[in-house]
Structure 1
Amino acid sequence: MREIVLDTETTGLDPLQGHRVIELAALELVNHMPTGRAWREYIDPEREVEEDARRVHGIDNAFLEGKPKFAAVAEGFLEFLGDAAIVAHNAAFDMGFLKAELLRLGKPELPNSVIDTLAMARQRFPGSPNSLDALCRRFEVDNSSRSYHGALLDCELLAEVYLELRGGRQPGLSLAEERGSSTSRTRDATLVSLDSTAQKPRREPRPHAPTVEELEAHKAMLEGLKDPIWIRQ
């Protein structure tokens, strides 16, 4: 199963007010585990980065000068994304910006299914802080290098958090569907094969009948009880 962890950094908070994407990153998962493949581009937004946004991600217009425009990177991003499900934290924010950017290019809205890890966290930990930083602390994911928000770094952290939200590195057994195939599971990115047809040494049945001593002890116990149900007719 292929999924793409996705994150954006932007010039502001609202695409409907003309704010643009300035960093777009995507990280590939297969069976919920990172494959090592990732895609990231900084983008010239063709407008000023607001100061409040700059304080969050540390990216200013001087850094973005000369970077490609979204139109130049869109095809590469869409090719990397393919038909994979999208995993994002507060997905409505990122998907809203992507929808606006694609609309400017006359492209349709992304048809990919979307998994919102913020919604997953709120359902699992209602009433608790569920920001990415808070979830990293909860799951002991090292985010010490996150002095600023950065799309690719946030994708890497979110991939670990997402795995924990799904139950950790051993979320369960993946049962084989095809006849003759073995059951398998994933453990720390290593596929472990569990062959249900493997021959096991035959063990002789253990005796379970009570011994004479045990029967006598049971009889003595019953004699000390008042009207025990074990001897009623």
Structure 2
Amino acid sequence: MIVVTLTKVPPSLRGDLTKWFQEIQTGVYVGTVSARVRDKLWDRIIRDIGHGEATMVFNAQNEFGYQFRTTRKDREVVDFDGIPLMKRLNSVRAPVKHGFSTAAKYHKARMYSKIRSQPNQNKLNDSFASIDIETTGLDVIHDKIVSVGAVKRSINGEFQQFNAYVKIDDPMPPKISKLTGITNEKLNHEGRNLSEVLNELTKFVGDDVIVGYNSSFDDEFISANLRRLGQPILTNRLVDLLPIVKKHNKFLDNFKLSTILGEYEIVNSHPHDALSDASATMRLAEELIKKGQLVI
């Protein structure tokens, strides 16, 4: 038996679920499907949920006999010695979805930075981190994370690095492999389980502020995968450098990371390498700090 509850979701998603479940009350769906179909339906819910919320309860082999998942921003699913519990969070995390036009991306970046920042979005703590990922594509539901890189600057100015490759079941798309230099052989020999990698990443960044460039893309991928794995999502304050850069460089031809790095005379020796891109983003943050555009 599977129960799904939906609130404030698009009508199209509600209609889609009626193909598989019976709606016994507004927003409450009940049915029985295989674990494979259940997981794919959950992926579809995450993809099409808009600004709504969803919770799924299903049979599981644990002491309670059930497990649950949720997209609620004020709750977190935690495992207590094999017992699933719903933890109430003190802070609420708001969702964001990508737009398709360039203007929409800049608008989303500005709004995302405001959502995840304190009132002064340009102000950082002394310790902060930068995260970058490489994926098999742009679809947060169907594509996979294959590489995670992060750099952390401590209060005393020292730097630490985190770099990991992720094993995937499907072969690397040739175009992505050519772009990133990540081959099937590299993932087979150096790749690790995604759950292990994301767990270590969460410990690495701790409570530090996270800086990024067009951060919503990386954050949505990481958050979606943490939810699938039943791990706590990152709730760190996030500062997106894209709207800050755009505010002070209005007449550039474009706002790709490579263009911005060139404008600030930052050399990224290995573009589309997660650790190299994270390091370059960290250096960009430091340049913005020096210019007084990003204040510590």
Task: Identify if the C-alpha distance between structure 1 residues 124 and 45 changes in structure 2 by more than 3 Å, giving closer, same or farther.
Answer: farther
How much has 1:47 moved relative to structure 2? 2.4
How much has 1:34 moved relative to structure 2? 5.4
Question: Given that residues 129 and 282 in structure 2 are in contact (C-alpha distance below 8 angstroms), is that contact kept between their aligned partners in structure 1?
Answer: no
SS in 2 for 1:15: coil
Counterpart pick for 1:98 among 214, 222, 227: 222
**Does structure 1 residue 11 correspond to structure 2 residue 140?**
no
Task: Identify if the C-alpha distance between structure 1 residues 173 and 2 changes in structure 2 by more than 3 Å, giving closer, same or farther.
Answer: closer
Question: Percent of counterpart pairs with the same letter?
Answer: 25
Counterpart pick for 1:132 among 257, 260, 283: 257
Question: Given that residues 212 and 238 in structure 2 are in contact (C-alpha distance below 8 angstroms), is that contact kept between their aligned partners in structure 1?
Answer: yes
Equivalent-residue separation in structure 1 for 2:204 and 2:149 (angstroms): 10
Counterpart pick for 1:118 among 210, 223, 242: 242
SS in 2 for 1:45: coil
Equivalent-residue separation in structure 1 for 2:295 and 2:226 (angstroms): 39
Question: Given that residues 202 and 234 in structure 2 are in contact (C-alpha distance below 8 angstroms), is that contact kept between their aligned partners in structure 1?
Answer: no
Q: How does 1:1-233 map onto structure 2 within 5 Å?
A: 1-16=126-141, 18-30=142-154, 35-66=158-189, 67-128=191-252, 129-143=254-268, 145-146=269-270, 148-168=271-291
Following TM superposition, where does structure 1 have runs of at least 4 consecutive aligned residues deviating by more than 3 angstroms? 170-174
How much has 1:73 moved relative to structure 2? 2.0
TM-score by length of 2: 0.52
Equivalent-residue separation in structure 1 for 2:144 and 2:251 (angstroms): 32
Equivalent residue letter for 1:75? N
> Which structure: larger Rg?
1
Equivalent-residue separation in structure 2 for 1:111 and 1:48 (angstroms): 32
Task: Identify if the C-alpha distance between structure 1 residues 21 and 34 changes in structure 2 by more than 3 Å, giving closer, same or farther.
Answer: farther
Aligned residues: 169
How much has 1:171 moved relative to structure 2? 7.4
Provide structure 2 residue ranges, at least 5 long, that are not aligned to the other structure.
1-125
